[in-house]
Amino acid sequence: MAECDVSHHNGPLIVSWRHKGLKVFFETGSTSGVRVDHSKRLAHALAILNRARTPDNVNIPGWRLHPLKGELAGFWSITINANWRIIFRFLDTDVELVDYLDYH
């Protein structure tokens, strides 16, 4: 099992999670619940999300940040790799309900 240092608990925190494996990865670096080949990109994305206060803070070139519609209205999406995304929403200046999913 690969490990990656993703403990970035300074300032605002991601306050809630939908994906248990992603939460464990963020808190411990364990890749048991995420794709190992995504670990570097996930670590970077979670570090940014953990400090973000607005969607503009997450608008990184190549991440294709965009608001979601329909049942997921209010959520934002960033691309991790191919069909894989992290989706989340802001609660004031905190990030909540972070999920990691394959769109297709």
What is this structure's pTM? 0.86
Q: What is the dihedral of CA 93, 24, 81, 85, to 10 degrees?
A: -50
20-102 to CATH, choices 3.30.930.10, 3.30.70.2190, 3.30.1330.10, 3.30.2310.20: 3.30.2310.20
| 53 band by pLDDT with thresholds 50, 70 and 90 | very high
Closest C-alpha to 47, from 80, 10, 77, 19: 10
Residues belonging to the active site = 104
The model's pLDDT over 63-74, given as tens digits with 9 standing for 90+, comes to 999 999 999 999
Hey, CA dihedral for 42, 44, 50, 56, is it positive or negative?
A: negative
The model's pLDDT over 11-33, given as tens digits with 9 standing for 90+, comes to: 558 999 999 999 999 999 999 99
Half-sphere exposure of 93 (CA within 13 A, CB side): 6
CB 30 within 8 A of CB 5: no
